Structure 1
Amino acid sequence: MERPFQWISRILSLGLRYDQATAVGPTFQQEAWIRKMMKEAKKHTYSLETPLSDVMFILLDTETTGFSPQRGDEIFSLAALKTKKGESLDLYCSEFRPKRRIPEHIVALTGITNDDVACAPLLEEEIHHILSFLNHSILLGYHIQHDVAFLNEFLSRNYRTVLQQTAIEMRKIMECIYHDSFPTLDDALSFYQLSPIDRHTAKGDVMSLFEIWKRVFTELQRLQIDTLHDLYALLSQRS
């Protein structure tokens, strides 16, 4: 039987607000109802003709204990920044207490110690806030599939669901625009002559991503990449 927070997170993933999910309760679990909510959630996806200026893009970054969520590595920090028209709207940022210790080389990289997260919430205690924040958006990030893979492994293992959002790789957008290679976030920052902000922290990297995205969004406008269809057509050139 699902625990209450598992049920709430599962319902939130279907597109309901937190207050709606808690009102439904864990007894109303018919699969037909879940399928109906899935269909309702899909109605909020963007059409290909949606102008980029109307799309809620969310810049996402995580810090993790390693690189293999299937082998038990976990997220211990996550930041997400809502943007529209290349402007910053809202920021979510939190650290989490992982069930395994943060390795020393990760501590050295991020500056986040095991003591720092000793009193932080568990990811399952915050997942409803995260899912609500990410809802009705397209995700952007550098090596975004790493972040998505960790979230999906957590959601799949605990709640039998995965993220519904489209995720687009920032690196690929830049390489399609400039016909050059930008393997790392540092390469992208260097291209724009930007200094990193608290590098290798989720919040710092998201704010660095935002500085990049402002410039990328302006360049997309200059190139008359006006809709999602135009953006996907651009990305298909290097698929």
Structure 2
Amino acid sequence: MERPFQWINRLLSLGLRHDQATAVGSAFQQEVWIRKTMREARKHTYSLDTPLSDVIFILLDTETTGFSPQRGDEIFSLAALKTKKGEALDLYCSHFRPKRSIPEQVVILTGITNEDVADAPSLQQEMHRILPFLNRSILLGYHIQHDIAFLNEFLSRNYRTSLQQTAIEMRRIMERIHHDTFPTLDDALSFYGLFPVNRHTALGDVMSLFEIWKRVFAELQQMKIDTLHDLYALLSQCS
């Protein structure tokens, strides 16, 4: 691979100004690094006989400007809690400065204003922290495909790649365990007699997910759901 200065020199030879060449070279190097990180993530997958107690589960939640990443809606807040054996290990949490304003109805829902994110880093600036944090894990969340869709749209648009981690819907696990329906995070919290704190914020919802996951993980152990194979078999059962 060419060194950064060699790449910049090539761009300069094509007539770009030094500041333009430096910006392009930096973006190119970031894309190379991110794609390498994704390849490393692809290599690390848990085998089906891996005990659940050995798996890193990351609880993930995002707040977004809307529901359509394909139409330009963006993530403006993300929280991820790394867990093992139902215990918390590490936390990542940050606001991001989106290119479009946070709509009024979203501000009302989340309590996060445009002023709150005005000086925040962009999502692109934080990717060098987010991706390594998520690596070597299985992602868990409530309606987690919403979060994955936004992250993958961003990664695809900017770096022509996507997340490699398995993502599991917490709702499905609860419904298989209890043979009942839990359409929302609030329903899941209510079932366990829990009360949300800072609801509809990424950090608040991730901490609520953690309280649920502690109980769900204990229930899986009681049911002798010991390995990833056991968990996937449970999830494959008809309702």
TM-score (norm 1): 0.87
Does 2:35 align with 1:8? no
State the SS of the aligned residue for 2:233: helix
Letter paired with 2:75: I
Counterpart contact for 1:13–1:131, Cα < 8 Å: no
**2:17 alignment counterpart:** none
Higher CA-based Rg: 2
The structure-2 alpha-carbon separation of the partners of 1:130 and 1:5, relative to structure 1 and needing over 3 Å to count, comes to: farther
**2:131 alignment counterpart:** 131
State the SS of the aligned residue for 1:79: strand
Provide the aligned C-alpha RMSD in A: 1.6
Structure 1: distance between partners of 2:41 and 2:97: 30
Runs of 4+ in structure 1 deviating by more than 4 angstroms, as ranges, are none
Letter paired with 1:68: S
Letter paired with 1:112: I
1:27-68 CA-to-partner distances (Å, cap 9, x unmatched) read xxxxxxxxxxx3x54331100000000000000000000000
Structure 1: distance between partners of 2:140 and 2:73: 22
TM-score (norm 2): 0.87
**2:82 alignment counterpart:** 82
State the SS of the aligned residue for 1:15: helix
Structure 1: distance between partners of 2:202 and 2:28: 25
Counterpart contact for 1:142–1:170, Cα < 8 Å: yes
Does 2:65 align with 1:65? yes
Q: How far off its partner does 1:5 sit?
A: 4.3
Q: How far off its partner does 1:6 sit?
A: 5.3
Q: Which runs of 5+ in 2 are unaligned?
A: 1-10, 12-23
1:97-137 CA-to-partner distances (Å, cap 9, x unmatched) read 00000000000000000011000011100011000100110
Counterpart contact for 2:35–2:159, Cα < 8 Å: no
Letter paired with 1:209: L
Q: How does 1:130-209 map to 2 (within 5 A)?
A: 130-209=130-209
**2:91 alignment counterpart:** 91
Counterpart contact for 1:141–1:209, Cα < 8 Å: yes
